[in-house]
Structure 1
């Protein structure tokens, strides 16, 4: 830290010890900086993302719910005022969609049950915007709104990130390597992005970067050769159609 001229406020500094759910952390583990013991915590807020020691993302899901549930109440009151659905949809994107999609490719690798909690709230908001019956079919809701369910949005945001890397639109410390760069012989997967073999628990298999590359490699090859704007438009339509067809 001295070399980088970094100064830590040790009174506010805490550390997380990441581990699997059943792993028992020793209470004797001590981390020190300048001979001062650093407090260990089970969760921490970092750049708007709640990190937990067991990587369950429970705190992050609860945080998002606390942000978007009040907005659903606002939409419920506003729909009786005669406002144009377009205005209500703009409110949705500003106050609900933005909170759901923030770093979703990271925390979105949580359990399906946790994503379902957000989808229930998302559907409630969309039904209010378009004045749909409470028991309206789920697929009709998303088709009318032209919006992806939370679980599908995870996939979409993940492949968007990888495509940006593939087009060198953003920088990353993790290089994008094609299979053709690993071996010289031609195969059906030569143009796919190389993924490292993971010899670990589900945390490694579900790591956001590994999961994103896997999703990207599953896309039809015609998408991966598109410009960013074309890719974004076409892949969203593809994911939505697959969801409506029951294949997403």
Structure 2
């Protein structure tokens, strides 16, 4: 269940620290679902496999409602929904179970925006790509209206990286595109931006990237994937230990001595492009010098950027989307490399 609380206290006046202290015991009233809290947002997540699971979720919703009543907190009835994520065929055999709160039924949503991500009930990221593309173009148009065409190239480049690229690459580990049409859609944002930054509307995309010392967006996504893995290995979070989801090759072979990861077999396209599956293949492509997780993060990032830059100079072709990556995710390349 997705639910957004409308609190009777003003976070801007009392501060988020007071807000967190006030709601920090809310998870204790939830017995079966997994509660996730962020500021005034609350999510209850539960795997439903039987009628008993549905009743347990309804019980948790009732307990959440009782907790809010006890502490004089009001739920915004227009901002809570149920998002059901499952295979389409399961919908046909199992109609939506009606959940209720305060004697009113909860609406079933086909998508939900959460912490900047647009999550659909079929786990397609097409709506999210549309969302971030729209935001990026608005930011780019703002820069165009505000900054003179005669401004320094370095100034326009800095504004692009700060205001536009940051919008496009936010949380890319979760939603990175794998279809050619989506890859081209996002890469087109940087294509237009480089034309504006250099005031050059005739040269190729490759030459503009070379002049600006910018990597293609898809290369940048891969760098973010690797840096997230390195950071998670060096500084594991209390809420997420990546070592529970990946496994280094063990044994006395030469392959196991180079910090390689075990690659799991994936028979479905959606699962093999999931971060924890694709990062094992990407990590194993890295040279040994980049697999030293004991090196400082700054040094690792600089070495990684240099490695990708050399790969870009040798392999990138503006009109061939498969060259936009170190490891192209399209089905044809995947079949050729891993079948």
Q: TM-score, structure 1 length as denominator?
A: 0.84
Aligned match of 1:217 in 284, 301, 304?
284
Contact 1:179–1:192 (8 Å) recurs in 2? yes
Matches within 5 A, 1:184-223: 184-190=251-257, 191-198=259-266, 200-223=267-290
1:108 aligns with: 176
Matches within 5 A, 1:135-174: 135-168=202-235, 170=237, 172-174=240-242
Aligned match of 1:179 in 245, 249, 258?
249
Q: How many residues align?
A: 242
- How far off its partner does 1:47 sit? 1.0
Matches within 5 A, 1:1-248: 4-5=28-29, 7=64, 9=75, 11=77, 12-19=79-86, 23=89, 25-26=91-92, 28-30=95-97, 32=99, 37-77=105-145, 80-132=148-200, 134-168=201-235, 170=237, 172-175=240-243, 176-180=246-250, 184-190=251-257, 191-198=259-266, 200-225=267-292, 226-246=295-315, 248=326
Aligned with 1:156: secondary structure? helix
Structure possessing the higher radius of gyration over alpha carbons: 2
Q: CA 1:195–1:38 in 2, change beyond 3 Å: closer, same or farther?
A: farther
Q: Distance in 2 between matches of 1:128 and 1:99?
A: 18
- Aligned-residue Cα RMSD (Å) equals 2.7
Q: CA 1:243–1:121 in 2, change beyond 3 Å: closer, same or farther?
A: same
Contact 1:195–1:213 (8 Å) recurs in 2? yes
Q: CA 1:218–1:15 in 2, change beyond 3 Å: closer, same or farther?
A: farther
Aligned with 2:132: secondary structure? helix
- How far off its partner does 1:50 sit? 0.7
RCO comparison, higher one (Cα < 8 Å, 6+) = 1
Deviations along 1:8-64, whole A, 9 cap, x unmatched?
A: 6483332323345x6462372215366864322111111111111222211111111
- How far off its partner does 1:186 sit? 2.6
Q: Distance in 1 between matches of 2:197 and 2:205?
A: 14
Q: Distance in 2 between matches of 1:168 and 1:143?
A: 34
- How far off its partner does 1:79 sit? 5.9
- How far off its partner does 1:99 sit? 0.3
Q: Distance in 2 between matches of 1:3 and 1:98?
A: 33
